Amino acid sequence: MLNLAALAPDVPFLTPGPVSFGFVAACDNGLLEVTGLSLPIGSLCRIEQDHGQDMAAEVIGFRNGRTLMMMLGDSALLCPGSRVYPEGRPGMVPVGEAFLGRAVDGEGLPIDGGPLIRTREYWPSGGRRSGALERSPVMQPFDCGVRAINALATMGQGQRIGIMAGSGVGKSVLIDMIAHGADADIVIFALIGERAREVSGFVQRHMDGERRQRSITVAVPADHAPNLRLRAAQLAVCQAEYFRAQGKSVLLIMDSLTRVAHAAREIGLLLGEPGSARGYPPSALATINRLVERAGNSAASGGSVTGIYTVLADGDDENDPVVDTARAILDGHIVLSRAIAQRGQYPAIDVGASLSRVMSDVASRDHRADATVLRALCASYEANRDLVLMGAYRAGADAQIDRAMAMQSAIRDFLAQAVDDRCTLGDSVAGLHALLAAPSAP
**Each residue of 394-429: pLDDT tens digit?**
787 888 888 988 899 999 999 999 988 999 999 999
Cβ–Cβ under 8 Å, residues 259 and 192: yes
Give pLDDT, residue 129: 79
Give pLDDT, residue 434: 95
Residue 13 has pLDDT above 90, yes or no: no
Give pLDDT, residue 12: 46
Q: What is the mean pLDDT of residues 346-365?
A: 94
**Phi, psi (deg, nearest 5) at residue 217:** -120, 125
Chain-wide mean pLDDT for the chain? 87
Number of separate helices (H) and strands (E) present in the chain: 12, 19
Q: Domain 22-89 carries which CATH code?
A: 2.40.10.170
Closest by CA position to 7, among listed 169, 168, 111, 122: 122
Q: What is the mean pLDDT of residues 97-110?
A: 92
Pick the CATH number of 367-437 from 1.20.1270.330, 3.30.70.990, 3.40.50.1700, 1.20.950.20: 1.20.1270.330
229: left (phi over 0), alpha (psi -120 to 50) or beta: alpha
Residue 187 has pLDDT above 80, yes or no: yes
What's the predicted TM-score (pTM) here?
Answer: 0.89
Number of neighbours of residue 136 by Cβ within 10 angstroms: 17
Q: Which class does domain 93-360 fall in?
A: alpha beta
Q: What is the pLDDT of residues 232-261, one digit of tens each?
A: 999 999 999 999 999 999 999 998 899 999
- 65 burial (CB, 10 Å; 0-12 / 13-18 / 19+) is exposed
Domain boundaries, the chain: 22-89, 93-360, 367-437
Q: What is the mean pLDDT of residues 106-129?
A: 90
Cβ–Cβ under 8 Å, residues 441 and 378: no
Closest by CA position to 316, among listed 343, 282, 350: 350
